[in-house]
């Protein structure tokens, strides 16, 4: 019975508030005039998981990404970009972390290599400050979420929390202690000749569960902690940010988790839970060696399921890499990639200087002019004077015909101006 309860414990937390930790801002019913609805599909279930409302003329890209070792639930990422490439609304990749405390605690950092290297609760504003640092933007300051909106968020959280606790008690288990915190803050940075301002909106969800090791027995106790954080990011030229936020609010732009997908996901999870329970019941009085073997078989099955998910994502690989390359700077993995990139460029002193100053070197393919610009974005455009420019991470954005003058996209070169 203890083994059965432990197996249920591993699965049940994903059924409750964690599934509802995303802000569901999508418009219900027909979208307002001037907007369109984009679908983000879950290829493992063959159905739409999230629908996202964006302005009709904006570019859009979105996909589902497999969860981490800290939280296995898949999550959506998306980006909506205005035609000129300057205004963006996006959901960043979810950030997860986990740790343990107590006599039976084990190190988790090596096992959770795809999670943030945190081992503590982090208040939402401290988390937003860390995100701003990792993204290379200036943290301007906190701006409060309207009280009515916070109250609605907490009502939904408490309702989901109560339902999750009921599931635990129905299986004879102590429910975990859970908490949710929401906040937002303004940030600022420079995009070429444009002064840019953004709003980061974050939700953090954490749980704590008292356990014993080995699972289900009377070994040393410990507390297992798990946290996830989702971040929405809207940015625009500074003078336009307030109008952009109001426009997105009026048009109900944002994502909505589809009820049918949530039900299908929970149904599949319940089936997997019952299969695990049946497997454990069949163990009977087998030795611990056989129990460990069955656990390894379960882990192998989970690994096979993960591989199947990744294969089903092959058609979205290019889009996936774009998101990981441009939006996941806020994760520990992206920081590691940045360090690797710096080491790769260390053979050239000029490239090291560029990296240290958070800048890059670009060359005009027509005139050969060399310019130093910010490295915060991927693409740089200059007008015919060679003095006025703007940057964007949207490869489809083109200022010609949108902004006055003739614009040329620059070529990224080494810090000394030589071709890469």
Q: Which residue has tokens 């803050």?
A: 185
What are φ and ψ of residue 15, in 5° steps? -80, -20
- CB neighbours (10 Å) of residue 71? 24
Q: CA–CA separation, 53 vs 256, rounded Å?
A: 9
Query: Contact 253/58 with Cβ under 8 angstroms?
Result: no
d(CA 179, CA 158): 9
What is the rounded distance in angstroms from the CA atom of residue 136 to the CA atom of residue 334? 13
Question: What token pair was written down for 141?
Answer: 């300051």
From the list 300, 251, 301, 291, the residue with the least C-alpha distance to 271 is: 301
- pLDDT at site 78: 93
Is the Cβ–Cβ distance between 389 and 383 less than 8 Å? Answer: yes
Contacts 24+ apart (CB under 8 A), 258-266: 258/47, 258/48, 258/49, 258/50, 258/51, 260/47, 260/48, 261/42, 261/45, 261/47, 261/48, 261/49, 261/50, 262/19, 264/45, 264/47, 265/19, 265/42, 265/45, 266/15, 266/19
Tell me how far apart the alpha carbons of residues 45 and 262 are, in angstroms, rounded to a whole number.
Answer: 11
CB 212 within 8 A of CB 219: yes
Nearest to residue 207, comparing CAs of 94, 67, 65, 99?
A: 99
Beta partners for 181? 204
pLDDT value of position 290: 58
288-312 helix and 259-283 helix, angle to the nearest 10 degrees = 160
Q: What is the pLDDT of residue 409?
A: 93
Three-class SS of residue 124? helix
Q: Which of 417, 400, 371 is nearest to 192 (CA)?
A: 371
pLDDT of residue 419: 84
Helix axes 332-344, 349-356, angle to 10 degrees: 150
Can you give the pTM of this predicted structure? 0.64
Give the start-end residues of each E strand in 351-416: 359-363, 370-374, 379-383, 389-392, 407-409, 411-413
Residues 6+ apart with CB under 8 A from 47: 41, 258, 260, 261, 264
What single string gives the DSSP state of each residue in 315-356?
A: GGHHHHHHHHHHTGGGSHHHHHHHHHHHHHTTTSHHHHHHHH
pLDDT tens digits in sequence order for the chain, 420 residues long:
333 333 333 333 333 333 333 334 444 556 778 889 999 999 888 999 999 999 999 999 999 988 888 888 888 999 999 998 899 999 999 999 999 999 988 877 667 778 888 899 999 999 999 999 988 999 999 999 999 999 999 999 999 899 888 888 887 888 899 999 999 999 999 988 889 999 999 999 999 999 887 666 678 899 999 999 999 999 999 999 999 999 998 777 788 888 898 888 888 877 876 776 677 666 555 545 555 555 565 555 555 555 554 544 443 444 444 444 444 444 444 445 444 544 444 445 667 777 767 788 999 998 888 888 888 888 999 988 888 888 888 888 899 988 888 999 999 998 878 888
Both tokens of 224, joined, read 């297992």
CA 359 to chain centroid:
25
CB burial class (10 A; 0-12, 13-18, 19+) of residue 318?
A: exposed
CA 376 to chain centre: 19
* Residue-level pLDDT at 372: 86
Q: What pLDDT is stored for residue 176 in this prediction?
A: 92
Angle formed by the axes of helices 259-283 and 2-11, nearest 10°: 160
The arrangement of strands across the sheet holding 254-257 comes to 35-42, 47-55, 254-257
């Amino acid at each position: 019975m203890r083994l059965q309860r432990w197996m249920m414990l591993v699965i049940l937390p994903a059924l409750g508030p964690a599934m509802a930790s995303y802000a569901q801002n999508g418009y219900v019913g027909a979208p307002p005039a001037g907007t369109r609805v984009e679908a983000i599909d879950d290829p493992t279930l063959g159905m739409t998981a999230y629908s996202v409302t964006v302005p009709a003329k904006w570019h859009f890209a979105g996909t589902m990404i497999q969860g981490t070792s800290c939280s296995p639930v898949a999550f959506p990422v998306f980006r909506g970009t205005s035609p000129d490439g300057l205004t963006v609304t996006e959901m960043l990749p979810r950030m997860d972390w986990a740790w343990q405390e107590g006599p039976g605690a084990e190190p988790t950092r090596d096992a959770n290599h795809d999670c943030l290297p945190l081992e503590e609760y982090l208040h939402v504003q401290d988390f937003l400050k860390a995100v701003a640092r990792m993204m290379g933007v200036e943290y301007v300051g906190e701006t409060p979420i309207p009280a009515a909106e916070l109250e609605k968020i907490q009502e939904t959280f408490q309702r989901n929390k109560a339902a999750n606790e009921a599931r635990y008690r129905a299986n004879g288990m102590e429910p975990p202690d859970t908490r949710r915190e929401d906040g937002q803050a303004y940030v600022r940075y420079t995009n070429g000749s444009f002064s840019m301002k953004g709003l980061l909106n974050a939700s953090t969800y954490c749980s704590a569960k008292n356990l014993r090791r080995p699972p289900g027995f009377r070994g040393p106790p410990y507390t297992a902690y798990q946290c996830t954080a989702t971040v929405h990011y809207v940015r625009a030229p500074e003078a336009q940010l307030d109008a952009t936020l109001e426009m997105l609010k009026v048009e109900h732009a944002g994502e909505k988790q589809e009820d049918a997908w949530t039900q299908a996901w929970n149904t599949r999870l319940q089936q997997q839970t019952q299969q695990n329970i049946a497997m454990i019941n069949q163990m009977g009085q087998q030795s611990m060696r056989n129990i460990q073997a069955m656990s390894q078989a379960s882990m192998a099955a989970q690994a096979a399921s993960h591989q199947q998910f990744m294969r089903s994502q092959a058609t979205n690989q290019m889009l996936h890499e774009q998101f990981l390359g441009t939006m996941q700077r806020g994760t520990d993995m992206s920081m590691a990639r940045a360090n690797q990139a710096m080491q790769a460029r260390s053979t050239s002193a000029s490239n090291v200087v560029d990296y240290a100053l958070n800048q890059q070197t670009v060359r005009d393919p027509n005139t050969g002019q060399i310019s130093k610009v910010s490295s915060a974005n991927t693409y740089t455009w200059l007008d015919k004077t060679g003095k006025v420019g703007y940057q964007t991470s949207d490869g489809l954005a083109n200022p010609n015909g949108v902004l006055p003058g003739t614009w040329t996209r620059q070529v990224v070169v080494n810090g000394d101006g030589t071709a890469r």
